[in-house]
Every structure is written in structure tokens, then in C-alpha cells.
Amino acid sequence: MEATLGLSEATRSTAGVLLLTIVAIEWGGMFLLRVVRGRHPATEFQRSFARAGHAHAGVLVTLSLVGQVFADAAAMGGPLALLARNGIWAAAILMPAGFFFSSAGRDVHKPNGFIVLLYAGIVALGLGVVALGVGLLTTGGGR
């Protein structure tokens, strides 16, 4: 496929979706502002998990965008490219979801079973960044 703006079709479409997710992160920021200002009741545990979930969402979406460009630059292919391209953005969904869903409810003081999403996100992030790092170090990347 022909590259647009120097980006592969996979990167262009994934980056477009990732950029649109920033609106959801903004919405989450508005909710977090309500929590922090005391307009939405929350325990200290819930406030800390809301902050962590929001921060992880923003940082990991940004890292996902950078990772897409790096994967193109390395001209990666095969399973390594699949992990590099998808692991980081999967973590950008799983980790915040783990923070938010595991602290949802009234008067919650410890995480529920949805905390498993956080651990799944940790694994996805680890696989994604290792695959991307290995790909950048081992491929010629010449276009």
C-alpha cells in the first residue's frame, strides 16, 4: 500500500483513532475535576485511582502515537510488528479501565475484580515496548 504523509496505512488509521480517543480522555478529565472539587462523592482510594487512570490514559495514548511512527520507521513486519503496533494502545485502554472499573461504586476502599484489567495492560505495555525496542534495534529500517 502507498504511504500517506510518510506513514503506512496501518499507522495512519490507528493514529486517527488514537487522536479521537483524546476527546474521551478530556471527558474523563472533566469527571476527575468534579471528583477533586467534591462535586462527586468519592473515597480517597477512588480519587487516587481516578487520577492514576486519567494520567495513564493520556500518557499511553501519546506513547501509542509515537510507537506507531517508530514501527513505520523500523519497517517492522511479522509478529514483532503486531506486538509493537498494538501492545501499547491496548495498554492505553486496559490500564485506565482497570483503574476506573476496579474502583467504581459507592464508598469503595479497595479494588474489585476488574483490577485484572490493570495487570493485563501491564503485560500488553511490556510486550509492546519490548517488541518495538527490539524491532528498532534489529531492523534495517531503510525506506
In a domain, 124, yes or no: yes
Which domain covers residue 63, as residue numbers? 9-138
Q: What is the dihedral of CA 105, 108, 111, 112, to 10 degrees?
A: -50
Three cell numbers, residue 130: 519490548
Whether 99 is in a domain gets the answer yes
* Residue 21 counted as domain residue: yes
22 located within any domain: yes
What 3-state class would DSSP assign to 106? Answer: coil
**Beta carbons within 8 Å of 105's beta carbon, 6+ residues apart:** 112
CA 96 to chain centre: 8
Any domain includes 1: no
pLDDT (tens digit, 0 to 9) for every residue of the chain, 143 residues total?
454 578 899 899 999 999 999 999 999 899 989 988 989 999 999 999 999 999 999 999 999 999 999 999 888 889 999 999 999 999 999 999 999 999 999 999 999 999 999 999 999 999 999 999 999 999 865 54
The set of residues, in sequence order, having a beta carbon less than 8 Å from that of 73 and lying 6+ positions away, is 136, 141
Number of domains in the chain: 1
The single residue listed with the C-alpha cell 467534591 is 38
Residue 93 lies in a domain: yes
Phi, psi of 4 (to 5 degrees): -115, 130
Query: What whole-number distance in Å separates Cα of residue 48 and Cα of residue 60?
Result: 18
Per-residue confidence (pLDDT) for residue 51, from 0 to 100 = 93
CA distances to 45, 53, 72 from 65, in Å: 30, 18, 11
In a domain? residue 59? yes
